[in-house]
Amino acid sequence: MERKMDEKISLWQLFLLIFIFETGSAIVVGIAGEAKKDAWIAILMATFIGIMILLYYFFMIEKSGNKNLFEILELCFGKYISKLFIVIYIIYFFYLASRVLRDFGELLVSTIFEKTPIEFISLTMMFLIVYFLILGIETLSRSAEVFIPYIVIFILFVGLGILLSQELDFSNLLPILGDGIKPVMKAIFPSLIGFPFGELIVFTVLIPKVTKIKKARTVAAISVFLSGLLLVYTTVIQLATLGDNIRNRSNFPMLSAAREISLLNFIERVDLLIVFIVMFGIVVKVTIFFYGGLLGLEKVFNIPYRQFVVPMALLISFSSIIISKNFAEHIEEGLTFVPFYLHLPLQLILPLFIFPIIWFKKNKSHDK
């Protein structure tokens, strides 16, 4: 089998990967719960902030001469100190891959595979991801092209199905901003900024692989905007169907909302469509985080990333199990510690420090 060393992805594939990456687990795990009835406003506002964060990442890449995150770190901190930062990012990406994998495992165990051990789901899912990565990131991009129509049609169908089942009650969304803007702001910062929008930091590893990099900025921004709109759409469905109280107490609100669909006493249990949508979203998300970490390992150890794929996949599968004792603990970690201690420093603070260093180094080389 021929394996390309220099992988390239097209603009359309970048668009799809960002779109699926952003909506992947965010659709099923209820986000912006702090904003209660105004969760959709919080997501809409966070989308614009997310676009700004993405544009900043692009700005950073352009100023460094289309280098990826790890090369930028090397440019800023030198050959040896940069390795420390690269290892931190590798651990971060692998940790996030484990978290996303655990989300998916919990979803499957609590919905369709009730008697299957979560360890089995975790291992089999990682086998699929190993296969994707051994064939290369282009394979994942092409699979995204195949699956995207199903994902969009299924999501639209779920909304339409709930509407036709007369389960939507838009009065659940009222009053708009009844508690003021404060809960919305609390939901945006740092939770929504970190998840799902700030997680785009992993694309700083992928963007230099895009064929027409000059147009990539616009395409990526449009993709983030559309994925934000889709998240608003699903949040409105969840709020209008379940109300903010049940939505916040439900582990998987989109799934609970989809269970309300009952058309002609015939079309029922369409929550499996949601599981399908999430399944591909999770595969894309874990693969991209995993790929980001692997490229970091390639940079640190100077060995082709494919040699790391199998051992690291088994390591991610292991850590997805030991990451927490149960789902409640997993969610608590995700809402309380991860945004402050991991997302904020690695998605925002460190990248903000990087730009002045690039600027200083460029000016210094111009002076010489």
Task: Please give the residue ranges that form the binding site for another protein (CB under 8 A).
Answer: 87, 90-91, 94-95, 98, 117-120, 122-123, 297, 300-301, 303, 307-308, 310-315, 317-319, 321-323, 325, 329, 332-333, 336-337
In angstroms, give the least distance from the CB of 292 to another protein.
13
Identify which of residues 325 and 368 has a Cβ nearer to another protein in the complex. Answer: 325
Identify which of residues 97 and 210 has a Cβ nearer to another protein in the complex. Answer: 97
Identify which of residues 53 and 346 has a Cβ nearer to another protein in the complex. Answer: 346
Determine the 3-state secondary structure of 253 from DSSP. Answer: helix
In angstroms, give the least distance from the CB of 84 to another protein.
11
Determine the 3-state secondary structure of 9 from DSSP. Answer: strand
- Going by the DSSP 8-state scheme, the letter that residue 77 receives in this structure is H
- Are the CB atoms for 298 and 83 separated by under 8 Å? no
In angstroms, give the least distance from the CB of 329 to another protein.
7
**Alpha-carbon gap, residue 74 to 80, rounded angstroms:** 8
Report whether the peptide linkage leading into residue 339 is cis, meaning its omega lies within 30 degrees of zero. no
Identify which of residues 13 and 82 has a Cβ nearer to another protein in the complex. Answer: 82
In angstroms, give the least distance from the CB of 11 to another protein.
33
- Are the CB atoms for 320 and 105 separated by under 8 Å? yes
In angstroms, give the least distance from the CB of 317 to another protein.
6
Identify which of residues 41 and 313 has a Cβ nearer to another protein in the complex. Answer: 313
Identify which of residues 168 and 323 has a Cβ nearer to another protein in the complex. Answer: 323
**Alpha-carbon gap, residue 113 to 321, rounded angstroms:** 17
Task: Name, in order, each residue with C-beta under 8 angstroms of 177's C-beta and a sequence gap of 6 or more.
Answer: 38, 41, 184
In angstroms, give the least distance from the CB of 307 to another protein.
5
Nearest to 235 by CA among 25, 27, 21: 27
Determine the 3-state secondary structure of 323 from DSSP. Answer: coil
- Are the CB atoms for 355 and 55 separated by under 8 Å? no
In angstroms, give the least distance from the CB of 77 to another protein.
19
Identify which of residues 150 and 337 has a Cβ nearer to another protein in the complex. Answer: 337
Q: At what angle do helices 69-111 and 350-367 cross, to 10 degrees?
A: 160
Strand partners, 267: 263
**Residue 9 phi, psi (nearest 5):** -125, 150
